[in-house]
Amino acid sequence: MANQSSPYPILCASFNQDNSGFAISTKDGFKIIDSNTGRLCYDRAVGAFIIVEMLYSSSLLAIVGAGEQPSLSPRRLCFFNTTTGAPLREMNFLTSILAVRLNRKRLVVVLQEKTYIYDSNSLSMLDTIDTVPNLKGLCAFSPSLEGCFLALPASTAKGAVLVYNVMELQLHCEIDAHRSPLAAIALSSNGKYIATASEQGTIIRIHLVSEATKSYSFRRGTCSSTIFSLSFAPSLQLPDILVATSSSGSVHIFSLGFETNQRTKKSGSFLGSILPYSVNDALDPAHHHVLHNAVSAGVRSYAVVRKVDNVADSSSSEIASCRAIISLIAYNGYFQEYAFTLNSQNESTWSLEREFNLVAVISGNAETS
């Protein structure tokens, strides 16, 4: 989520693998913030960075400079220890680094026309993937070791995506998702689903990775809009919710049911009980919930689903509603957290729980406004 030419104070923003913390960078440096409390965990003012990636809540960071200083080259990947405040190791590349993803076993470095796979512990190179020109460094990564996949654009002319098994070091499949080139990709944390949006931004499609088959198609809107981010809920079994942000300034939530090969079975979950089984029915706007004007139109934003809970009816054992916590970072410098509630009648409500200035948190803990 880097934006080197951004007119806004936030240059890049990224949540860690379980969304328990996030990193942001400004022209002055970077900081690490606890998602649950808004507490500033680490702050380093040494210049601008375009990539700051965390490894869960450990002291290890993968950082790439914005190039405004010779020591902060965009072609140099630095592994940084926040406990000692010192670099551990550096890796240099021939061209600018556009994206970095990692888990406890694998490190992925995305360049414009090549993507490198490394062992996270030894940093030995395991594979090189030649890609189509990927000017924006578009990629998605599922951190689960059991379903660890990497998704990359497979075409510059249409919305095709290449899915690569990072643990087995082999191509898994190629999916033709859209007629227009891709604008956003997301993999569920367990690697079961992949969500895509094209440059038109009107349709969000979700495929089952294991079979490379389409599971859902959701209409975001009828007018074109740039999709800034896609993120699945952190469910181990099923990503019940997909959240998207767009250049319209809205936050979109799409409700998901069981995967394609389970739709003939009656779902035991709350969301499954109200969702249709057919893919075509999923285009029904009843399964699309929108928070309008969450940020100003045109301002880049990044949202994740941090938590999903089913709420039981006090008078029975049946599930009465679903409650999700949505965290949103706007590149104009604000953090927002919403509670999204969906009841059994498919009625939804949004409630702003927290909001604070990310730039101000550099000098102290976050204050909710």
Q: Is residue 72 part of a domain?
A: yes
Please name every residue paired with 195 in a beta bridge, in sequence order, or none if there are none: 186, 206
- Within 8 A by CB and 6+ apart from 70, the residues are none
| Count of C-beta atoms within a 10 Å radius of residue 270 | 22
Q: Count of residues for the chain?
A: 369
Q: Is residue 53 part of a domain?
A: yes
For residue 363, what pLDDT is reported? 47
* pLDDT digit string, tens, across residues 104-161: 999 999 999 999 999 999 999 999 999 999 999 999 999 999 999 999 999 999 999 9
Helices within 239-362 (DSSP H only):
270-274
On the 0-12 / 13-18 / 19+ scale of CB atoms within 10 A, 69 is: exposed
We report the CATH number of the domain holding residue 69 as 2.40.10.480
Q: Is residue 77 part of a domain?
A: yes
Q: Is residue 163 part of a domain?
A: no
Q: Which residue has the higher pLDDT, 287 or 245?
A: 245
Specify the residue for token string 């601008």. Answer: 48
Closest CA to 250 of 297, 305, 292: 292
* pLDDT digit string, tens, across residues 225-271: 999 999 999 866 555 789 999 999 999 999 885 333 333 333 444 44
What are the φ and ψ backbone dihedral angles of 197, each rounded to 5 degrees?
-140, 145
| Count of C-beta atoms within a 10 Å radius of residue 146 | 8
Largest CA distance in the chain: 65
Closest CA to 331 of 191, 192, 228: 228
Sign of CA dihedral 13, 15, 20, 25: negative
Examine the pLDDT at 347 and tell me if it is beyond 50.
Answer: yes
Q: Is residue 44 part of a domain?
A: yes
Q: Could you give the strand order of the β-sheet that contains 76-81, starting from the edge strand earlier in sequence?
A: 49-54, 60-65, 76-81, 86-92
Q: CA dihedral in degrees (361, 73, 77, 28; nearest 10)?
A: -10
If one counts the domains in the chain, the total is 1
d(CA 334, CA 327): 11
Examine the pLDDT at 283 and tell me if it is beyond 60.
Answer: no
For residue 275, what pLDDT is reported? 42
Q: Of the ranges 20-24, 47-51, 223-227, 279-283, which one carries the lowest mean pLDDT score?
A: 279-283
Q: Is residue 52 part of a domain?
A: yes
How distant is the alpha carbon of residue 26 from its chain centre?
20
Q: Domain of 65? A: 9-97
Q: Is residue 25 part of a domain?
A: yes
Q: Is residue 60 part of a domain?
A: yes
